[in-house]
Amino acid sequence: MTTSPVTHRAAAPHILARCRDLVRPALAGAVQRLHPWHAEMAAFSLGWGGVDGSPVPGSQGKGVRQALALLSAEAAGAPAEDAVVGAVAVELIHVFSLLHDDIMDGDETRRQRATVWKVYGTGPAILAGDALFALAVQTLADSPGAHGGAAVRHLAGTLTDLVRGQAEDLLFETRPWTGPEAVRPHEYRWMAEHKTGALLGCATGLGGLLAGAPAATVDALAGAGRHLGVAFQAVDDLLGIWGDPERTGKPVHSDLRRLKKTYPVLAALATDDPAARHLAALLGSGNPLDATTARRAADLVEEAGGRTATLAEAHRHLDSARRSLDGVPLAPAALGELLALFPFFVDRAA
């Protein structure tokens, strides 16, 4: 482990790998507690195995949430091991929420593979998500440390936020693109902070909490995670339009084609650029876009500055995440590792 107070971001892949190695046995052990059918779907989702448990090519995910939990615990002065149970719970909730989200979004591909509902069916995928949800709560509740009760309360608050954020995201789909009922950037921010930031904030907050940090430190860590979540979601939206599907593992333009209210489009429409007017006309029909129209819409979003505005928004939240930790008493070496991960939330291709 590094002893430098400021760790270069080139170290981020190694830091992530170290954290994944620490969490993997406990995560695998938790998954083994599931009904075998659900364990298979969880393993499929985590990239550990294919249908019937056979090996499968494809990405296993970087494990940023679990790393945030472990590094936050270390920054708060405890061994990373103290936060493994929190990292496992957060990872299980992450997998659960994506299983359900892919059904709600009708998405058929994730991480270069068919989504769980496409392979196993909608009912089984919903139930597997429910099983992962229950397992996450049970994992924390069974945690032998002194902070189990507070950790479960922390997770419960996160779940409430997460579900509210997802509700707003779905409701946005029913709102018009322009006019008084249009989704405003601050509404998007609230949605993203809840839908995505809540779980990242849960990871950092749980890390601090399981380390026995004072409430002010836990709050600061959780606040940093929530800002990282908004940055992450803005970039997720951006990659959905301009990302390389080979690397994102998701089909290109699927949000645009389904007329999802993503930040780049909202930011473009908020300008008075002529491209924004063309874009509004294109989207205004309310019908899903075909591939050619989606490509044209992507060009107009870029022309109106939506891509640049999205990156600027992501960087603002990255700065806010760093500022959240200013003045908080944290162990310098672990703080260095935590901060080294932050740019990963914005400068990413997948």
- 264 touches 238 (CB < 8 A): yes
Q: What is the dihedral of CA 98, 251, 232, 70, to 10 degrees?
A: 50
Q: 3-state class of 113 per DSSP?
A: strand
Per CB under 5 A, 219 contacts Mg ion: no
Question: CB of residue 196 vs ligand FPP: minimum separation in angstroms?
Answer: 5
- Near ligand FPP by CB under 6 A, which window of 100-108, 216-224, 293-301, 319-327? 100-108
Question: CB of residue 166 vs ligand FPP: minimum separation in angstroms?
Answer: 4
Residue whose pair of structure tokens reads 């107070």 in the numeric block: 5
Q: How far apart are CA 219 and CA 228, in angstroms?
A: 14
| DSSP β-bridge partners for residue 109 | 114
Per CB under 6 A, 97 contacts ligand FPP: yes
Site for ligand FPP in 268-327 (CB under 6 A): none
Q: What does 159 interact with, of Mg ion, ligand FPP, none (CB < 5 to 8 A by kind)?
A: ligand FPP
Q: How far apart are CA 180 and CA 332, in angstroms?
A: 48
Question: CB of residue 167 vs ligand FPP: minimum separation in angstroms?
Answer: 8
- Near ligand FPP by CB under 6 A, which window of 29-37, 97-105, 136-144, 313-321? 97-105
Map residues 102-141 to x or -, x wherever contact with Mg ion holds by CB under 5 A.
---x------------------------------------
Q: Binder to ligand FPP among 40, 82, 193, 236 (CB under 6 A)?
A: 236
User: Could you tell me the end-to-end alpha-carbon distance of the chain, in angstroms, rounded to an integer?
Assistant: 26
Per CB under 5 A, 101 contacts Mg ion: yes
Residue 147 or 261: which CB sits closer to Mg ion? 261
- 58 touches 45 (CB < 8 A): no
Per CB under 5 A, 236 contacts Mg ion: no
Q: Binder to ligand FPP among 22, 128, 159, 265 (CB under 6 A)?
A: 159
Q: What is the dihedral of CA 323, 326, 330, 331, to 10 degrees?
A: 90
Per CB under 5 A, 168 contacts Mg ion: no
Alpha helical stretches, state H, the chain: 12-31, 36-45, 64-75, 84-105, 116-120, 122-141, 148-172, 185-192, 198-210, 215-242, 245-248, 254-257, 263-269, 274-283, 291-303, 306-324, 332-341
- Near Mg ion by CB under 5 A, which window of 94-102, 230-238, 288-296, 339-347? 94-102
Q: What does 256 interact with, of Mg ion, ligand FPP, none (CB < 5 to 8 A by kind)?
A: none
Per CB under 6 A, 101 contacts ligand FPP: yes
Question: CB of residue 105 vs Mg ion: minimum separation in angstroms?
Answer: 4
Per CB under 6 A, 163 contacts ligand FPP: yes
Instruction: Dump the DSSP string for 39-102.
Output: HHHHHHHTTS--GGG----S-----HHHHHHHHHHHHTTS-GGGGHHHHHHHHHHHHHHHHHHH
Site for ligand FPP in 187-206 (CB under 6 A): 195-196
What sign has the CA pseudo-torsion 267, 322, 340, 153?
A: negative
**Site for Mg ion, rule CB under 5 A:** 101, 105
**Site for ligand FPP, rule CB under 6 A:** 97, 100-101, 105, 107, 159, 162-163, 166, 195-196, 236
